[in-house]
Amino acid sequence: MSEATPSADWVARRRQLESLLRLHAAVVMGVSNSLEAVRLLADALGSEDAPVREIAALALIEFGSDTRYALPELIQAVQDSSSLVRRRAIRAIANVGEVAWNDALPTLIAATEDEDDNVAMQALSTLGELGGVAAPAIPALVSALWTGDVRRRAIAGVALVRIGAASVPALVQSLAHPSAEVRSKAAHLLGRLGRAAESALPALRSLISDADETVRNEVAQALAAINEA
């Protein structure tokens, strides 16, 4: 009697298992042959199976600057149908190094408006990790500061401070926002920038008598921090 023909579902699961085993081998092999492992993982980002793509994106986070060899695939993965793949790909992009970050910036900026909150916040956080290189993302970060919830505002604020002096004009503009919460946050961030925010002193002084007590307190602290820096 002939052997039964495997079902399509069985074949799909077998292929997925083989892919997962290959990824596991790639990660183990990465200890001694990092570049080859990164290439295998980059290829796996194109798998039809979401679990394979998810594992590949997660594994690439561990390869440090060698992740740059998978940058084109990671940029594409930020558009993946799986939010987990998108978030992990964004985390991995943070490792690629300054030479390659410019290529990823448009994708990271677009991801700050991802429909999944976790993906959007990962994009905001990763932009902060890039520091001054992420200056083109300032409008997106300020948008999160103006319209986001508490968590988004906090992450966007950290990113703006890490970008540095280039953030000052946008933060000065935020001091005139109708929301007291935004004004107080902007003042707080300018204070954290210290001497780099010296040009914001006139705008901060204009808010010494703001109607909101929290704003007044943040302004006073910011003035002290900038003057003492």
Domain of 40, in residue numbers: 1-96
| Residue 102: inside a domain | no
| Residue 47: inside a domain | yes
What is the domain count for the chain? 1
What pLDDT, on a 0 to 100 scale, did the predictor assign at position 153?
93
The pTM assigned to this predicted structure is 0.84
Low-confidence ranges of the chain (pLDDT < 70): 1-33, 99, 229
Q: Which of 218, 177, 173 is nearest to 199 (CA)?
A: 173
CB atoms within 10 A of CB 149: 10
What pLDDT, on a 0 to 100 scale, did the predictor assign at position 196?
96
Provide the 8-state DSSP code for 196: G
Q: What is the pLDDT of residues 9-62, one digit of tens each?
A: 666 666 666 666 666 666 666 555 578 888 888 988 998 888 889 888 988 888
- Which amino acid, 201? L
What pLDDT, on a 0 to 100 scale, did the predictor assign at position 156?
96
Asked if residue 201 lies in contact with residue 172, where contact means CB atoms within 8 angstroms, the answer is no
Asked if residue 48 lies in contact with residue 36, where contact means CB atoms within 8 angstroms, the answer is no
Asked if residue 159 lies in contact with residue 126, where contact means CB atoms within 8 angstroms, the answer is no
What pLDDT, on a 0 to 100 scale, did the predictor assign at position 5?
58
| Residue 72: inside a domain | yes
Q: What is the CATH number of the domain that holds 70?
A: 1.25.10.10
